[in-house]
Structure 1
Amino acid sequence: MNLESYYIPKQNISNPKGEDAHFIHKADYQTIGVADGVGGWTQRGVDEGKYARELMKNCVLALDSENKGVVNPMMVLNEAYFKTKAPGSSTACIITLTRDNYLHVVNVGDSGFMLFRDGEMVYKSPIQQRGFNCPYQLGRSKGSDRPSSAEELKVAVKERDILVVGTDGLFDNMFVSEMKEIIGNVEKEGLTPKELAWTLAELASYNSLDKDGDTPFAQAKRFAGCGQDKGGKVDDITVIVAYIVL
């Protein structure tokens, strides 16, 4: 995979690092991960992103400690989870490209990915949530989830597929049609993975601040009967883009 990332933390003077965290492990393993620290911990005096950052760091350590070769995302997540002691909780999505051309994925919560082929979205990872804006979340506190709650799946990929991985700050603020329009210009404009990640993140950020526009978040809110609001969801936005090379 040829891959890069881009991160836009929401403006928060008290927490400039934001709530999201991610990793890209190119050497030996084609594995990536994203995590989104769940809001609400600030009220308890906890940095909402600390758990996510420690979890992703421990995923990298788990990868480095594995024998070179086959990566088992569930084992990585389990090891990282039990080594993460920070207070808080987060979503998590870990993806590796297998030797037989599949994406092997474990996902907890509403971070996730979309797979595009020939300009069309061919797969979107399912969301795990207990209700509107209430995703599953890993953590050690009462009421948090464990790795056993993760959904594990495999998705076949082809040469030149485009993988877009992100936290909910991306998917809550961009419709698939908007992503398709941008991705459709990848070859014509010669966009690199870094440039595509930046373009997607910047548009999601713009939409998140548009109080009058329609967004997936606004539609989900209306569908859940939580109001008729329009506009985006101000949130941290992490985007990882991978061009599949087999």
Structure 2
Amino acid sequence: MSEEKRLKMVAGAFNIPNERYSKPQGDDAHFICVDRETIGVADGVGSWARKGVDAGQYARKLMSNCVDAIQNEAKAVDPKWVLTQAYEKTDVEGSSTACIITIRDHFLHAANVGDSGFVLIKKGSSVYQSPIQVRSFNHPYQLGKESDGPSSAQVLKIPVKAGDVIVAGTDGLFDNMFANQIEDIVKMGVEDGVAPEQMAWAIAEHAYHNSVDAEANTPIMEASFKAGKPRSGGKIDDITVLVAYIVDS
């Protein structure tokens, strides 16, 4: 009986800051840890700006601390453990949503807090979209000393195989694009053999165009109607997209 091949991620990312000229870093942050087959994305909660705090500083420090935790741990990556270690060492003001994803033993393992997340696409069709954690409309769970802790994280485990595609992102992506729209771009990109960072760029650009379209049918519009706070079109926001191809090692 032949041994299953080890899987690995080939990943790329693209970011479009909302205030790209006055605040080029935006409030989102992400990382790609190539040697440990792990990616992560975070979105600093913008309401901190009202207190004079750079809303992106927490997200950036959290992601940096995630990378440190991953690289300093010899054992297999445990996304919730990584979030916990990073949370404990993030000593700046603010709060952030976060999603950490790794692959191990032919499974995707993830820990997610808030409304960042991912979709898993197999053969051009999405088979899974991570659930969001919100207390009310536009009020996500968030990591922070004055907010939620890593114990709030949803822990997810989903089988994967070579040929699958993971698309992760902040709410700037998922508020402005439905899963089937992401699928269409992924399917075309796979057929054309584009690199993951090119795919991430194409998805982010589509999300951006929806975000500034007052007539677009978007997930945020549907959610607003369900919440009794109707609004039309997309939501202008920082947009970060990570695309990871799952391939045989």
SS at match of 1:116: strand
1:140-179 equivalent positions in 2, closer than 5 A = 140-141=145-146, 144-179=147-182
* Contact 1:6/1:194 (<8 A) preserved: yes
* Contact 1:73/1:106 (<8 A) preserved: yes
Cα deviation for residue 11 of structure 1 reads: 1.8
* Contact 1:101/1:157 (<8 A) preserved: yes
* Contact 2:17/2:23 (<8 A) preserved: no
In the other structure, the counterpart of 1:22 is 30
Take 1:187 and 1:137, find their aligned partners in 2: how far apart are those partners?
Answer: 34
1:45 aligns with 2:52: yes
1:214 aligns with 2:221: no
In the other structure, the counterpart of 1:58 is 65
Cα deviation for residue 87 of structure 1 reads: 0.3
Q: 2:111 aligns with which of 102, 106, 124?
A: 106
1:242 aligns with 2:247: no
Take 1:188 and 1:92, find their aligned partners in 2: how far apart are those partners?
Answer: 31
Q: What letter corresponds to residue 243 of structure 1 in structure 2?
A: Y
1:201 aligns with 2:207: no
Cα deviation for residue 16 of structure 1 reads: 2.4
Q: Which structure 1 segments of 5+ residues have no match?
A: none
TM, length-normalised to structure 1 = 0.95
1:31 aligns with 2:31: no
- Deviation per CA, 1:193-240, whole angstroms, max 9, x where unpaired? 11110000000001100012111111110111102x211000000100
Take 1:196 and 1:12, find their aligned partners in 2: how far apart are those partners?
Answer: 21
User: After the TM superposition, which parts of structure 1 deviate over 3 Å for at least 4 consecutive aligned residues?
Assistant: none
Cα deviation for residue 116 of structure 1 reads: 0.4
Cα deviation for residue 36 of structure 1 reads: 0.2
Q: What letter corresponds to residue 20 of structure 1 in structure 2?
A: D
- Deviation per CA, 1:92-147, whole angstroms, max 9, x where unpaired? 1001110x110111110000000001111000001111011110000012xx0000
Q: What letter corresponds to residue 15 of structure 1 in structure 2?
A: K
Q: Which structure 2 segments of 5+ residues have no match?
A: 1-8
Cα deviation for residue 14 of structure 1 reads: 4.5
TM, length-normalised to structure 2 = 0.94
Give % identity: 54
Take 1:102 and 1:188, find their aligned partners in 2: how far apart are those partners?
Answer: 24
Query: How many aligned positions are there?
Result: 240
- Deviation per CA, 1:150-202, whole angstroms, max 9, x where unpaired? 11110110110010000010011011221122122123322211111000000
Cα deviation for residue 72 of structure 1 reads: 1.2
Q: What letter corresponds to residue 216 of structure 1 in structure 2?
A: P
In the other structure, the counterpart of 1:183 is 186
Take 1:185 and 1:146, find their aligned partners in 2: how far apart are those partners?
Answer: 39
Take 1:3 and 1:159, find their aligned partners in 2: how far apart are those partners?
Answer: 14
Q: What letter corresponds to residue 40 of structure 1 in structure 2?
A: S
Take 1:121 and 1:104, find their aligned partners in 2: how far apart are those partners?
Answer: 17
In the other structure, the counterpart of 2:100 is 94
Take 1:199 and 1:182, find their aligned partners in 2: how far apart are those partners?
Answer: 7
Take 1:187 and 1:42, find their aligned partners in 2: how far apart are those partners?
Answer: 39
* Contact 1:15/1:47 (<8 A) preserved: no
